[in-house]
Amino acid sequence: MKTLSAKSHLSRELVRSLRGKSGYLTNRSIELACHEGIINSRVSLLASQFQPVSLDLRLGTHAYRIQSSFLPENDTVEIKLNEVKLYEIDLRDGGILEKGAIYLIPLLEELDFPKNFQGRTNPKSSTGRLDMFTRVIVDHGHRFDEIPSGYKGKMYLEIIPRSFPVRVKEGLRLNQLRIFQGNPHLSDIQLKNFYKKTPILFDDEGKPVEVNEVKIDNGLFISLDLAGSGKDRVVAYKAKTNSCGIDMSLNRHYHPMDFWEPITLAQIRNKRLILEPESFYIMMSKEKICIWPHLLAEMVAYEPNSGELRTHYAGFFDPGFGWHGGKSIKNQGTRAVMEVRPHDVPFMVEHGQTFCRLKFESVIEKPTKVYGKKIKSNYHSQGLALSKYFKE
C-alpha cells in the first residue's frame, strides 16, 4: 500500500500559493499540506486517506469511556478528559464500544495550521448510516467539528453508538477533515447562477429540475421519497433495537435483516409514515442530486422550525457525487440517503415533503480526482442503500 510521509519541518510554500483565494483545499493541496507538516502523524499517512476535498482521520491506540460529553473551551482536552474519564480501552487489537455509552478517542493525525487555514470535520457516510453519533473536538474549542484558524495540536473524536454495539480498532476511519480559507459559502444568488448553467436536481428520468421549480433559501431544499422503487418498493429502513454487535473492519459481511426492519410502500397509507420518537431510520431523497466537480455540499443537520427530528448524521457531499462524467446536463444525479431520528414526539412525514437543506461551498481549484467509481466510492450510484458493512 502506498504511503505519504509528512516532513517534520513546516514550509509555507502552500500558503503562499493559495494567497488571496477562498474555498476548500482539494486533494492535491491537502497532500502538499501533509508533506509540509500542516497535517502530521507519527504513523505514515496512507494514499487512500486522501479524498477529493478531505482527509480521512484515523482512530488512535486507546479509547476512553467518559461519563459525559464536553467542550473544553478554556482548557485542553486532556485536562477535561481526566475529570470525566471512567476507564480506558486498548484499540491496538480492537475493542467494543457499547450502545448508548460515550467514548473519546485521540486521533492519529495532528495539526499545525497557519493563521489563514480553518477546518471542518464530518462523519463518513458509512459511520452515519450505522447510527453512530460522532464529532471532533480540539483544545480550547467551543464548537464541535470546527477547527479554528492557526490551531496547533491534537484532535479527538467523540463517539456514541446509538443503535448497535461496534468493534473498532486503531487506524479505523470514521470521520474526515476538510480545510478552507476565506469564505467558501455560496450565496443564494451565486447558487442560482450555478444552477442555471449546471442543474443540481434531477427527476426519476434523469431530466434536470428547472431552477424556477426548486426552493433556494440560504441553500437548496430537497424532499423525501416515500414511493419507493424496485420489486419490494422499500421506502425506509428502521434500526432494530436488540441486535448483535458490528465489527467495523468487515465490509459486506452482515445480513441486513438481522439489524434492520424494511418498511415498504404496502405497509404505509397514502404515502405517509409516522416516525417513532428516538427510533433511527434510513430514508431517501425524492430528487437525484449531482454535485458538479467545482462544488461541494453539506446537509444542514437540524432546524427546530422544520420539525422535531434530526435529518442527517453524515451529510457531506464530495465534488462528483452523482456526476456521471462529461458536460451533459442529462442523466445525471444520485439519490441522497438521509439518517433520520425523531425527538420527543411521533412525527408524520409524507412523499414529496420538503425535508432538508443543502448548503453549497466552493473549492479553491478543481480536484484531480472526484467522487465515483474511479476511486471506488461506496455510494456513487446508490438507491436506498445501507452502510457498506451489510450485504447487498
**CA dist list (Å): 129 to 132, 238, 293, 296, 390:** 7, 11, 24, 20, 11
- pTM of the predicted model as reported, rounded to 2 decimal places: 0.91
Question: Residue 298: helix, strand or coil by DSSP?
Answer: strand
What residue type is assigned to position 126 of the chain? S
Cα–Cα distance for residue pair 15/364, rounded to 1 Å: 12
Closest CA to 233 of 278, 205, 266: 266
Q: What is the pLDDT of residue 301?
A: 56
Neighbouring residues of 69: CB distance < 8 A, sequence distance ≥ 6: 102, 158, 160
Cα–Cα distance for residue pair 14/19, rounded to 1 Å: 9
Nine cell digits for residue 159 = 463517539
**Beta strands of 259-364 (E only): which ranges?**
260-264, 272-275, 281-289, 295-299, 309-310, 316-317, 334-342, 347-350, 354-362
pLDDT below 70 — which residues of the chain? 1-12, 230-231, 301-314, 372-382
Nine cell digits for residue 21 = 483565494
Closest CA to 180 of 148, 207, 202, 203: 148
Q: What is the pLDDT of residue 10?
A: 43
Residues 293, 367 contacting (CB under 8 angstroms): yes
Partnered with residue 46 across adjacent β-strands are: 3
All structural domains of the chain, each given as residue ranges with its CATH number in brackets, are 3-181 (2.70.40.10), 188-375 (2.70.40.10)
Q: What is the pLDDT of residue 392?
A: 83
Residue 204 φ then ψ, to 5°: -60, -30
Q: What is the pLDDT of residue 8?
A: 37
Cα–Cα distance for residue pair 305/66, rounded to 1 Å: 32
Q: What is the pLDDT of residue 236?
A: 95
**Beta strands of 290-384 (E only): which ranges?**
295-299, 309-310, 316-317, 334-342, 347-350, 354-362
